[in-house]
Structure 1
Amino acid sequence: MASRSTGVARQLLTAAPGASRTLTRTAVPVARSFASSASHSNQSTSSSVTLDQLRDASRTLPPTRSSSSSGSANVESSNAAAAIEEEQFVLPNCLLPTESLKPTHGIHVATLHLRSYADGLPNLDLFADFARRAAFAIGIPASGVAHLPTRTSLWTVPRSPFVHKKSQENFWRKTHSRAIKLFDANDQVVDRWLHFLRIHALPGVGQKAELFRYHEVGVGDKLMEEAKALQRSSSTPVSEDAADKKEHVAEASAPEGSSAETIKKLADGIVEKEMAQEGSAEQK
């Protein structure tokens, strides 16, 4: 019995490590298989997610391309429309920089002086630009706007003539000036330009034109001849009137005897005419 028990114990002892080995051997592969299956499942899930994402991306990519293409088409159409609008829209001449013609011969024809006080300074600059634009439109070469020195005047007057006579008050006045020179233009064209500026003058802006006229040599003799001709034409009617007045005065101042003689002569002439008419009638 003892031997049997010891044999059974030995069998149990030998079976226990084998069972543990088998268990471990079976357990390890199970664990490995579980881990591998878990890893496979994770990989499958991750791969399935990525595939889904790729499929979704592949499904959504064409619309994005179409949307991008449509967006680019919209942008291009909007740019084309903006370009067409820019081409169609033209800025007015008043907003464009002032143009001027270049002098051809450099002959100074006129100088326009513009003046205004401090209150009319905006109108002064505006009218100077307007004058240059008008000269360009007519075809007169003009220079730029020259800023002349500002004149400052000061008046000191008593504040009051009676009580506040000792206290004084100061008055300042600043005169701003501009100048524009004209070149190579006809006298009539310059006069027309100045007339146009006088018509469209701005309040508070004074104008003063300095004109330079060029004539041929010997113009003084021509002017003297014209002046003499005017004097002669004006003196002839005066002389005729004076002669008529002298005749009337002579007749009025003649003596009474001379007037009686003239009357007698007239009467004799009338009688002779009547006698001649009667003689011609008798002969017939």
Structure 2
Amino acid sequence: MDTYIFFRQEWKSSLRQKSFYLFAGLFLLIMTFIFMIQLNIDGLNSFTNVTATAFNVLLYSLPLIVMLLGSFSITEEREAGRFALLLTYPFKMTSFIMGKYLGQLVTHIIVIAFSFGVFTAMSFFFNGTTSVTGILLIFLFAVMVTAAFLAIGIVIGVLSSTRWLAMMVAIALWFIFIMIWPMLLIGALSFLKFNLVKPILLAFTVLNPAELLRVFFVIQFDGGSIFGQQYYQIIDFLKGPQSLIYLLGYILFYVFGMLAISTFLIGRKVRK
């Protein structure tokens, strides 16, 4: 019951904030640009420059946006003094964290679904060759990226005392996970013996949800060859119809793990 109360409060608060409409407008603009790129190309049927552009644009924009909004939802409560007031009421920290996360997640998914709906309508109206499967895969990619990095944003919000600090931490993590991750992999693996490369590479790939999701969905578009034969053989568990079940399980485990960490950390801060 407490989780629903916090969820409803976060949902209403999100609808009143300008950041919600800014995110909606920005994401709709992103999808419009992707539509304009693929307008005269054969839809999203395979891994092409269009699908690569769609993945890259979403991968560069979504993690940073959702981490910022997720972290601000926690730090704003503390800066405004509302969290101290909440502590005078009996509730579980698990309910608070879950309510915050679910409220933000539903808000983001509505924005993403609306933008993809507009994108799909324009695509079929102007270009009938657009692939429904391709659109659904990219939509699923956007939702999973949002779910994973929103959970990371909640952790950032719990650890940060101000929105300024939360913003700096979110940008730093975005820079590491998105911008320089391939260079970190190459640099780290170059010092390892050959027999250690595969397990370490798998560990690094699983550690970063953006990398795992990118690899998985590129493979679904039959574009796995761009990773090279050796890397493609290492990640062959992402092929096949059962791989989506593995991925969903991974996202759930990752999200609940981040939320459990958030609950533990905020509970420890309250006890102090």
TM bucket, shorter chain: under 0.3
Q: Whose RCO is larger (CA < 8 A, sep 6+)?
A: 2
Of Structure 1 and Structure 2, the greater helix share is in 2
